[in-house]
Amino acid sequence: MTQREGEGAPVPGPTGVAVLGSTGSVGRQTLQVIEHHPDRFRVVALAAGANASLLREQVRRHRPDLVALGAPDPDWPAELGPIEVGTEALIAAATHPSAEIVVVASSGHAAILPTHRAIAAGKTIALANKETIVCAGELIVPFAAERGVSIRPVDSEHSAIWQSLGSTPLREVSRLILTASGGPFRSTPAAEMAAVTARDALAHPTWSMGGKITIDSALLMNKGLEVIEARWLFGVPDARIDVLIHPESIVHSLVEFVDGSQIAQLGLPDMRLPIQYALTFPERVAGPHEPLSLASIGALHFEVPDEARFPSLALARRAGNAGATYPTVLSAADEVAVDAFLAGRLRFVEIPEVVSRTLDAHRPEGPLDFDAIMAADVWARSEAAAAVATLNRGAV
């Protein structure tokens, strides 16, 4: 349902959707879901970071009202209409008058302010961006509740918890259990981890994702970030959020209730399923993804993560428990360290070391607000870059 200007009641028509990060992995799959349901959804705004060539193709296909790009594109075809550039353009996409649902699929800290503005404008948020809740969950989640705005999780793990919880009151919830594939190095001997290459780390066994999140998965950093997210999204303290390695990636997460029973959401590792549910909630409709056959899978396996081999998980819990701007520092330092690893300037096993050194050096200042988050982000990137340089000198 949509609402036309000047009219007080909704009228039948496709729901307007704005997609932030349309050229990334989740953004592309979001558009696939929308294409599968042309009678239900219409793309009203597309925003991308730097992939102008793919954005052009998306604009030709979906004809949105507004197009935003992170930087000017001198080759932008005039027949595609005007293009808006920069942070204000991202905010304009997130607050477009015809957008009823904003899919926040962009990566990084740049999505935090547009998400907040979208909530202020009363938009339903389909959230795939980790940093928004990791860094600003303490601000974003209460603000959304105050505005009566729904935040629908798109990450498969948080979508699974959302679906498994249903309308159950939190007093009946014992714990949340986030599952993790374990990445490509789940069974790699510790002695061999120092020789891991970027190519090795990017070869995820079950999911097809962007480079940053794939490396985070290999480190289990992504699961640590998801623990912080789950705390704010579902109001469950860190001590009642566990992580379980599940290499098949079929059980996407579980909720354990006070009577000892557990409810899980299962499905093939296909992001289009949680994306579609976030768009169609509370309805369930047929989609472009394949159904799950447990008989074909045959067996499901689970194990406790080895936090000694994967220290990023403990680092994330440390930052989440410390609160304030520590989660922002964790996220920013990790991004710098991952970039350095992919560029060949840091070893895989040194990524957690950079993050740890940056957290050790951090001293929060003043109350938590968006300015503090932005300042902590800038500081952490500089401090992490210095840590990378120090480790490089030590290796020479």
Q: Is residue 196 part of a domain?
A: no
In b/e form, how buried is each residue of 3-40, taking b as 16+ CB within 10 angstroms?
eeeeeeeeeeebbbbbbbbbbbbbbbbbbbbbebbeeb
pLDDT at 1: 42
**Boundary of a domain, candidates 125, 153, 181:** 153
Contact 210, 29 (CB under 8 A): no
Is 394 part of a structural domain of the chain?
yes
Residue 8: its pLDDT value, please?
Answer: 43
Which amino acid is present at 135? C
Could you tell me which residues are annotated as the binding site for Mn(2+)? 155, 157, 226
Is 37 a domain residue?
A: yes
Name the β-bridge partners of 45: 18, 66
- Residue 65 included in any domain: yes
Residues belonging to the binding site for 1-deoxy-D-xylulose 5-phosphate are 130, 156-157, 181, 204, 217, 222-223, 226
Tokens, residue 145:
């509740």
Q: What is the pTM of this model?
A: 0.92
From CA 367, how far away is CA 108, in angstroms rounded? 22
> 290-307 pLDDT, tens per residue?
899 999 999 999 999 988
C-alpha to C-alpha distance for 324 and 352, rounded to whole angstroms = 20
pLDDT less than 50: residues of the chain: 1-11, 396
> Is residue 79 a part of any domain in this protein?
yes
Binding positions: 23-26, 49, 51, 129-131, 155-157, 181, 204, 210, 217, 222-223, 226
Sheet of strand 262-266: strand arrangement: 241-245, 173-180, 251-257, 262-266
**149 within some domain:** yes
Q: Calculate Rg over the CA atoms of the chain.
A: 21
Confirm whether 314 is domain-assigned.
no
Peptide bond into 282 cis (omega under 30): yes
Using the CB atoms, write b or e for 159-191: b if 16+ within 10 Å.
bbbbbbbeeeeeeebebbbbbbbbbbbbeeeee
Give the sheet arrangement for strand 41-48, strand by strand.
Answer: 84-85, 66-69, 41-48, 15-20, 101-104, 124-127, 151-153
Q: Which residue, 94, 126, 153, sits at the end of a domain?
A: 153
Predicted local confidence at residue 189, as pLDDT: 82
Give domain status of residue 388, yes or no. Answer: yes
HSE-CB at 55 with a 13 A cutoff on CA atoms is 30
Binding residues for NADPH: 23-26, 49, 51, 129, 131, 210
Domain of residue 343, residue span: 323-396
Domain count, the chain: 2
**What's the pLDDT tens digit per position in 204-248?**
666 556 678 889 988 999 999 999 999 999 999 999 999 999 999
Q: What's the confidence (pLDDT) of residue 289? A: 84
What residues have CB less than 8 Å from 3, skipping those under 6 apart? 9, 10, 11
Sign of the Cα pseudo-torsion (148, 152, 158, 160, in order): positive
Among 98, 127, 153, which residue terminates a domain? 153
**Residues 6+ away with beta carbon under 8 Å from 225:** 130, 134, 216, 316, 330, 331
CATH number for position 355: 1.10.1740.10
> What does DSSP say about strands 173-180 and 241-245: parallel, antiparallel, or unpaired?
parallel
Q: What is the CATH number of the domain that holds 123?
A: 3.40.50.720
Q: Cβ of 79: how many Cβ atoms within 10 Å?
A: 7
Q: According to the model, what pLDDT value does residue 204 have? A: 67
